Structure 1
Amino acid sequence: MKLLRPLLYTASCAAALAMLSTAQAQGVIKIGEINSYKAQPAFLEPYKKGMELAVEEINASGGVNGKKIELITRDDNANPGDAVRVAEELISREKVDVLTGTFLSNTGLAMTDFAKQKKFFFLAGEPLTDKIIWGSGNKYTYRLRPGTYMQAAMLVPEAVKLKKKRWAVVYPNYEYGQSAVAAFKQLLKAAQPDVEFVAEQATPLGKVDAGSVAQALADAKPDAIFNVLFGADLSKFVREGNTRGLFKDREVVSVLTGEPEYLDPLKDESPNGWIVTGYPWYGIQTPEHKAFFLAYHGKYKDYPRLGSVVGYTAIKSLAAGMKKAKSSESEKLAVAFQGLQVDSPFGKITYRAQDHQSTMGAFVGKTKNDGGKGVMVDYTYLDGAKYLPTDAEVAKLRAPD
């Protein structure tokens, strides 16, 4: 018996090792996701739910390339340095295959540079500054949402129709706000050369002194206002603007305000007639959106926000890219995403080879206070592909990969 024991032990070890090897070969694909969950919960809680729904659907249909996907999320504390630190940990400790996420434009830019330095694939879901795809664009970084140029380009034709000469602007004084205002000024001046910008209020993100801002804008007596504030800053600005009569007989064009994340909290303070980009989930009747709505509502017993659409589509995009590449390796993914087509709740989108921007569009319409609740009316979905610079212009904006 003593002679048999080593043999039995060896055989059992070999079997265990074989099973372990098989499990590792089957493995999982790990998606590392970084975002400002504590700082921006209105957008990012629905965003995370959208991601989790996509993961569930993908795994239920067999996964990607024979592997299940696993989502590992981390909070970046709305800090670019923390975002990079967390990215390092996700790669070294969690052994993630790809990175995605970020909300604020400054953290998105930090991750864009990280992806370039580490040669690691990164899909930016939400950050809107166009430096991500142009000035700081690189081989390993792609962006899902329509950026500040695209959204300004969608709003400017409506702004021109107002035939207003004197404009004021108000925005959060960091990368996203600066980028949005620069794009709006550039495009509006090109379309309406006689326009004047008579006042500018740049506020600290999350710390707007709404009373003084509203009063300063009112004192400038503009014909119209371009607003870029969002979240709690937007709510405070609307409240003070309503109190001081800032919006009475004055047109407002506003980025993001039609998104339920930011429109819903306004409740009976919701403004009437603002021209906005947003997400009227209650009125979109396309088959792809109906399917998404039913799946989301069935899982969470809640309606989706725009964050839900972005999170869901980001994971679906990564899955589609890995299927096309037949790999989750960064080099292969970077190539596979060029021209990649993805089915989204807004229809088919394409990741452009020339600048790595997706053609996801946005809804443009007007706000309405409907019995104490803010909604979007008179809205139209605008295809993002039609609101991007020409290839020749992109070539000037973006350094070669």
Structure 2
Amino acid sequence: MLSNTGTLAQDVIKIGELNSYKTQPAFLGPYKKGMELAVEQINAAGGVNGKQLQLIIADDNSNPGDAVRAAQELLTREKVDVLTGTFLSHIGLAVTDFAKHQKRFFLASEPLTDKIVWEEGNHYTFRLRNSTYMQVAMLIPAAVQMNKKRWAIVYPNYEYGQSAVATFKTLLKQAQPDVEFVAEQATPLGKIDAGNVVQALADAKPDAMFNVLFATDLAKFVRAGTQRNFFEDLSVVSLLTGEPEYLDPLGKETPVGWVVTGYPWYAIDTPEHDAFLKAYQERFNDYPRLGTVVGYNTILSLAAGIAKAGTTDTEPLVQAFKGLQLDTPFGPITYRAIDHQSTMGAYVGKLAIKDGKGIMTDFHYADGASVQPTDEQVRQWRPASAD
């Protein structure tokens, strides 16, 4: 475990953060830097409720059992005041359940599965990053506009991928009832057999595709698909592919024309993002990734919630987070009282290549509040016992 020490314990607020740093470095390296920048800025401005923030980090090894043990150690050995973190959806669900049984506050920063705030949501857990449902809903208008009937689907075969596909099928069918799903490939996370996957999809002769792959699986899939000319005349909507973590490694192989969610940091022109970008570049001599913004917003959220509650005690903190509003580099966000989901959004645009690098063009910001299900639906999905 890593911590920044040198401050008397009674003068600090300890934030216990656990994540898959060893297995997902592309996202979580920049994420950690985003947290560090926010901690430094808040502490320089006087801290929260007169106390300095201290970040204590543990690795969950991408294993649910290890994640629960790490969370327990953060609480008992490190005596942290709040828990946050997790990246992979099944890890996030494990810690969500842990928080429920321990009756301790937990801010799930990154995992996307809907279950964290709906089917398996609980009184103690909140989530920052926009959910799988929200991400898919951002892409549905573009998918409908493509007006294609025969869809292929490819996704990593674990909670996040399964959740994304289920939502995509439901929402697209609602908008376009005659759509057909003619091929589906579920690949083991981090172990895609890209050539065979592309061939299986191509054999079904789809005219559109929904992609949920990311990281090294995405890079291998794109390379195999390009070599086999699979993407020619194929309309594609793709989750996460516009995020620098996953887009930058594609380089000249970036599949032009895909409609994606992502983060075009180089072209966002707002005062709040400009200030964040300048501070990050000055501090780290690097450009931010989406993980950077998620890490930064995680600390901003915790600071705002603790300041509002006036304490790190669990119950006041839970109540403070219900309806909590704060400003972020993406603009203002709110944590919804009904399901503990924040309204942080994402950018939606098309992929292009410029100077040998993948970029997003024709993009817009999709506010998370605009892609939420109705309150009635949320009440059906979220157990009444959760609150």
State TM-score, norm by structure 2: 0.97
1:370 corresponds to which of 321, 335, 354: 354
2:236 corresponds to which of 244, 252, 275: 252
Query: What are the within-5 Å matches in structure 2 for residues 215-226 of structure 1?
Result: 215-226=199-210
TM-superposed deviation, 1:180: 0.4
TM-superposed deviation, 1:223: 0.7
The 2-side partners of 1:23 and 1:81 are apart by: 32
TM-superposed deviation, 1:371: 2.8
1:62 corresponds to which of 24, 34, 46: 46
The 1-side partners of 2:156 and 2:321 are apart by: 32
The 2-side partners of 1:370 and 1:269 are apart by: 12
Query: What are the within-5 Å matches in structure 2 for residues 281-292 of structure 1?
Result: 281-292=265-276
The 1-side partners of 2:216 and 2:109 are apart by: 21
Query: What are the within-5 Å matches in structure 2 for residues 61-100 of structure 1?
Result: 61-100=45-84
The 1-side partners of 2:333 and 2:168 are apart by: 24
The 1-side partners of 2:313 and 2:358 are apart by: 44
The 1-side partners of 2:257 and 2:111 are apart by: 27
1:258-302 deviation per Cα after TM superposition (whole angstroms, max 9, x unaligned): 000000000111110000000000000100000000010010000
2:35 corresponds to which of 47, 51, 58: 51
1:315-360 deviation per Cα after TM superposition (whole angstroms, max 9, x unaligned): 0000000000000111111110000001110000000000000000
Give the secondary-structure state (helix, strand or coil) at the position aligned to 1:81: helix
The 2-side partners of 1:397 and 1:191 are apart by: 21
Q: Which amino acid aligns with 2:272?
A: E
TM-superposed deviation, 1:27: 2.0
The 2-side partners of 1:359 and 1:238 are apart by: 31
In the alignment, structure 1 residue 391 sits paired with structure 2 residue 364:
no
1:164-190 deviation per Cα after TM superposition (whole angstroms, max 9, x unaligned): 000010000000000000111100000
- Identity %, equivalent residues: 70
Aligned to 1:214: 198
Q: Which amino acid aligns with 1:368?
A: A
The 1-side partners of 2:167 and 2:98 are apart by: 26
The 1-side partners of 2:199 and 2:229 are apart by: 10
2:153 corresponds to which of 160, 169, 190: 169
1:274 corresponds to which of 230, 252, 258: 258
Q: Which amino acid aligns with 1:264?
A: D
CA 1:296–1:177: 2 relative to 1, 3 Å? same
The 1-side partners of 2:8 and 2:42 are apart by: 20
2:141 corresponds to which of 157, 176, 186: 157
Give the secondary-structure state (helix, strand or coil) at the position aligned to 1:39: coil
TM-superposed deviation, 1:23: 5.3
Give the secondary-structure state (helix, strand or coil) at the position aligned to 1:66: coil
Aligned to 2:111: 127
Aligned to 1:294: 278
Query: What are the within-5 Å matches in structure 2 for residues 2-41 of structure 1?
Result: 26-41=10-25
Question: Larger Rg: 1 or 2?
Answer: 1
- Runs of 4+ in structure 1 off by over 4 angstroms are none
Identify unmatched segments of 5+ residues in structure 2: 1-6
Give the secondary-structure state (helix, strand or coil) at the position aligned to 1:94: coil
Q: Which amino acid aligns with 2:53?
A: I
Aligned to 2:340: 356
Q: Which amino acid aligns with 1:215?
A: Q
1:198 corresponds to which of 174, 182, 186: 182
Give the secondary-structure state (helix, strand or coil) at the position aligned to 2:266: helix
The 2-side partners of 1:256 and 1:170 are apart by: 13
The 2-side partners of 1:103 and 1:323 are apart by: 26
2:165 corresponds to which of 170, 178, 181: 181
Aligned length: 379
In the alignment, structure 1 residue 304 sits paired with structure 2 residue 301:
no
The 1-side partners of 2:317 and 2:89 are apart by: 23
Give the secondary-structure state (helix, strand or coil) at the position aligned to 2:166: helix
Give the secondary-structure state (helix, strand or coil) at the position aligned to 2:181: strand
In the alignment, structure 1 residue 236 sits paired with structure 2 residue 238:
no
TM-superposed deviation, 1:231: 0.1
The 2-side partners of 1:199 and 1:335 are apart by: 45
The 2-side partners of 1:129 and 1:118 are apart by: 21
In the alignment, structure 1 residue 342 sits paired with structure 2 residue 352:
no
1:106 corresponds to which of 66, 79, 90: 90
TM-superposed deviation, 1:91: 0.3
Give the secondary-structure state (helix, strand or coil) at the position aligned to 1:319: helix
1:379 corresponds to which of 363, 367, 383: 363
Q: Superposition RMSD on alpha carbons, in Å? A: 0.9
The 2-side partners of 1:58 and 1:75 are apart by: 24
The 1-side partners of 2:85 and 2:30 are apart by: 13
The 2-side partners of 1:280 and 1:98 are apart by: 32
Q: Which amino acid aligns with 1:150?
A: M
Q: Which amino acid aligns with 2:292?
A: S
State TM-score, norm by structure 1: 0.94
Q: Which amino acid aligns with 1:232?
A: T
Give the secondary-structure state (helix, strand or coil) at the position aligned to 1:33: strand
